[in-house]
Amino acid sequence: MFKKKQTPQSKLILFISLLFVLFYNYTFFKNTLVFYPAISENIGFLLSLAVVLFAATSLVLTLFSSKWTTKPLIIIILLISSQTSYFMNTYHVIIDDTMIRNTFQTDMKESMDLFSIQQLIYLLVLGIIPSYFVYTIPLDYRGKGREFLSRIKQVGLLSLIILLTLFIFSKNYASFFREHKPLRYSVNPTFWIYSLGNYMSKTFSAADQEVTPSGLDAKVNKKHSQLPKLVIMVVGEAVRADHLSFNGYERETTPLLKKEDIINFPNLFSCGTSTAVSVPCMFSKYGRENYSYKKGIQNENVLDVLNHTNEISVLWLENNSDSKGVAIRVPYKWYKNTFYNTKCYEDECRDEGMLVGLDKFIQEQRNKDILIVLHQMGNHGPAYYKRYPKAFEKYTPTCQTNQLEQCTQEEISNAYDNAILFTDDFLSQTIQLLKEHNTTHQTAMIYMSDHGESLGENGLYLHGMPYFMAPDAQKNVAALMWFDASLRKTLNIQNLNSDAAYSHDNLFHTLLGLFEVETEVYQKELDILNIKK
């Protein structure tokens, strides 16, 4: 009996893993070399990264290998990784769970627009050719017992290699894991496999949650102007009210907004002291007293109510972390990558990138009312010094580390205020964009920060203190509105008392009122703009 020479699957797995290290991780090594240049003291560490990458990929493949799964699994991973390589190398995107969600939600037309010759070459060279090799190679299965034993041996050996390498270079890995977290996001294929798992677990756990509809009766009833409305709602990040010059701060932190007809709300308080609480809460119908995480995800929010009218186009652009579940049922785009965001520089995708292309979106909505939500990176701490381009470094010296306790309070405030200057520029650009549309629309901008920030007062930093004990610095948030002349007139804005006490509780009803939406969930008395005429 003749037998073709057969390869044990363990060998195939090791070989494929080597291919992954050599040909599928260009972006990972390129990004890593920025922080760990190939100088003699880094060479050992860089080589060890390749070893860990190799061992980790082999480990994952080994864990899922069996007589029936090894080949199809490797082929699927090769095909997908050829594409993730293409997108990471070309567009510098990160294949995380939101990106996967975006990919599934993008309709075919949009995906075809992106298809290029280069992408086909990636598919052929990194996908189809190695897959064909895997498909045709005869594998040697040596019976259940022996295969099991060999797998145990391989898993043990690979784990040992990983642990040993991490141990030998522990100093480098400590900084690698702590300070350069994003580097891991470009590891191919382990990161996208992890993201896929993450996406599926999030989707299925969300699918278990019954979402109760809200305001199904909502309809637009325009009593005043017949022009469509264009509203841009900016959800700010970590800007406390008392650092705005509008609120008497001794520094001029809003020089550009000062030139506009801004309505300032000095006494507006947040729903929570963290993004995860405040963002879903401010868009929910529950005020701070009644809000809970569960109610937030189990009930539709104001964006859904606006959506139910079928007369308002809603769009959420994300440049923070994610929408915290608020934008799950409305069009959503993630701007923390160079694929969508054309304003990524000095190591950060800037908020102003979200304004690029909005003109086109606005024109496409024809005569519909429009609400665009821009979720900003804003003053996200602790690395305030990274939140603005060099040109905005007006106050110096600045705290140049995320270890805030190593800086003086002044250095922290300097960096924090420079970041506000950059938001001032961003909001001013947003207003200029709205002005370009005010012959065809009534336009408005609403800006509200999600929570405030402690900057070292009484040894407190950042935010997230339990609400009842948090200082006002974390709760009294920056809040501004701007309306074009026509809307100011329609709203009788001169009668507005902006100094009164307001909170995130008002947002839900103010948005409904602004769009003149009639629904049972609208409460007139909570609408800031329901001004007695």
DSSP codes joined into one string, 418-478: HHHHHHHHHHHHHHHHHHTTTTTSEEEEEEEES---EESGGG-EES---GGG--HHHHBB-
Is the CB of 162 or the CB of 317 nearer to Zn ion?
317
Identify which range of 30-38, 158-166, 394-402, 446-454 contacts Zn ion by CB under 5 A: 446-454
Can you list the alpha helix ranges (DSSP code H) found in 36-168? 40-63, 70-91, 97-105, 108-114, 117-122, 129-136, 143-168
Q: Which residues contact 505 (CB under 8 A, 6 or more apart)?
A: 271, 287, 288, 526
Identify which range of 168-176, 275-283, 417-425, 511-519 contacts Zn ion by CB under 5 A: 275-283
Say if residues 217 and 309 touch (Cβ distance below 8 Å).
no
What is the x/- site pattern for Zn ion, positions 21-60, by CB under 5 A? Answer: ----------------------------------------
DSSP codes joined into one string, 267-326: TEE-S-SSHHHHHHHHHSSS-TTT--HHHHHHB--HHHHHHHTSSEEEEEEESSS--TTT
Is the CB of 453 or the CB of 505 nearer to Zn ion?
453
Is the CB of 25 or the CB of 275 nearer to Zn ion?
275
Q: How far is residue 433's CA from residue 425's CA, in Å, rounded to a whole number?
A: 12
Give me the least distance between CB of 503 and Zn ion, in Å please. 16
Six-digit token string for 161:
């290699």
State the chain's maximal CA–CA distance in angstroms: 98
CA torsion through residues 17, 18, 23, 25, sign: positive
Q: How many CB atoms lie within 10 A of CB 235?
A: 26
Question: Residue 167: what residue type?
Answer: F
Identify which range of 94-102, 195-203, 270-278, 343-351 contacts Zn ion by CB under 5 A: 270-278
The site that binds Zn ion (CB under 5 A) totals a number of residues, namely 3
From residue 498, give the alpha-carbon distance in Å to each of 203, 370, 510: 41, 25, 13
Q: How far is residue 46's CA from residue 172's CA, in Å, rounded to a whole number?
A: 10
Can you list the alpha helix ranges (DSSP code H) found in 309-408? 358-364
Does residue 319 touch Zn ion according to CB under 5 A?
no
Give me the least distance between CB of 243 and Zn ion, in Å please. 15
Q: How far is residue 150's CA from residue 381's CA, in Å, rounded to a whole number?
A: 48
What is the x/- site pattern for Zn ion, positions 178-197, by CB under 5 A? Answer: --------------------
Give me the least distance between CB of 368 and Zn ion, in Å please. 30
Peptide bond between residue 389 and the one before it cis (omega within 30 degrees of 0): no
Is the CB of 228 or the CB of 236 nearer to Zn ion?
236
Give me the least distance between CB of 238 and Zn ion, in Å please. 5
Q: How far is residue 76's CA from residue 456's CA, in Å, rounded to a whole number?
A: 51
Give me the least distance between CB of 122 and Zn ion, in Å please. 37
Is the CB of 131 or the CB of 449 nearer to Zn ion?
449
Is the CB of 189 or the CB of 280 nearer to Zn ion?
280
Residue 7 half-sphere exposure, CB side, CA atoms within 13 Å? 16
Give me the least distance between CB of 239 and Zn ion, in Å please. 9
Selected binder of Zn ion within 65, 275, 490, 530 (CB under 5 A): 275
Say if residues 245 and 423 touch (Cβ distance below 8 Å).
no
Say if residues 235 and 241 touch (Cβ distance below 8 Å).
no
Is the CB of 237 or the CB of 351 nearer to Zn ion?
237
Is the CB of 77 or the CB of 244 nearer to Zn ion?
244
Give me the least distance between CB of 390 and Zn ion, in Å please. 24
Residue showing the smallest CB distance to Zn ion in the complex: 275
Is the CB of 425 or the CB of 450 nearer to Zn ion?
450
Q: Convert 229-240 into a string of H (helix), E (strand) and C (coil).
A: EEEEEEEECCCE
Give me the least distance between CB of 434 and Zn ion, in Å please. 24
What is the x/- site pattern for Zn ion, positions 218-257, by CB under 5 A? Answer: -------------------x--------------------
Give me the least distance between CB of 252 and Zn ion, in Å please. 24
What is the x/- site pattern for Zn ion, positions 341-360, by CB under 5 A? Answer: --------------------
Burial of 529 (0-12, 13-18, 19+ CB in 10 A): buried
Give me the least distance between CB of 174 and Zn ion, in Å please. 27
Give me the least distance between CB of 464 and Zn ion, in Å please. 9
Give me the least distance between CB of 381 and Zn ion, in Å please. 9
Is the CB of 228 or the CB of 280 nearer to Zn ion?
280
Is the CB of 237 or the CB of 322 nearer to Zn ion?
237
Give me the least distance between CB of 140 and Zn ion, in Å please. 55
Is the CB of 364 or the CB of 472 nearer to Zn ion?
472
Selected binder of Zn ion within 450, 453, 505, 527 (CB under 5 A): 450
Q: How far is residue 151's CA from residue 256's CA, in Å, rounded to a whole number?
A: 64
What is the x/- site pattern for Zn ion, positions 89-128, by CB under 5 A? Answer: ----------------------------------------
Q: How many CB atoms lie within 10 A of CB 170?
A: 9
State how beta strands 219-220 and 517-518 pair.
Answer: antiparallel
Note the residues at the interface with Zn ion (CB under 5 A). Answer: 237, 275, 450
